[in-house]
Amino acid sequence: MALFLAIDAGGTKTRCLLADETKILGHAITGSVELTRVSEAEASSHLRAMLAEVSQVANVSLGELSQTCVGLAGLSIDAVREWPSARLEPSSVGTCTS
């Protein structure tokens, strides 16, 4: 069964949920990972903590993910656009824009 991770990186908080094809298995919330608001070290720390939490809540290894979608502001900035892929498994990451 496919597993999906969705990350919504907002200005003050970042939310994620992990789901299979039929239901949400877990969710987590952390501080901002927006590089225009926090340092790269702080953003990375927030992201790691959130991913560990959602993995534990869902009882799923993140290595099993089929696809990850990250929605974040500032995609016109190269560093912001490249940051998620550098922190997450590159083969499973897609950056969603609106």
Per-residue pLDDT tens digits for 2-20: 999 999 987 789 999 999 9
Give the number of other Cβ atoms within 10 Å of residue 74's Cβ. Answer: 15
Domains and CATH numbers, the chain: 4-96 (3.30.420.40)
Per-residue pLDDT tens digits for 34-69: 888 888 889 889 989 999 999 999 999 998 999 888
DSSP the chain: ---EEEEEE-SSEEEEEEE-SSSEEEEEEEE---TTTS-HHHHHHHHHHHHHHHHHHHT--GGG-SEEEEEES-TTSHHHHHHHHHHS-GGGEEEE--
- Which pTM does this prediction carry? 0.79
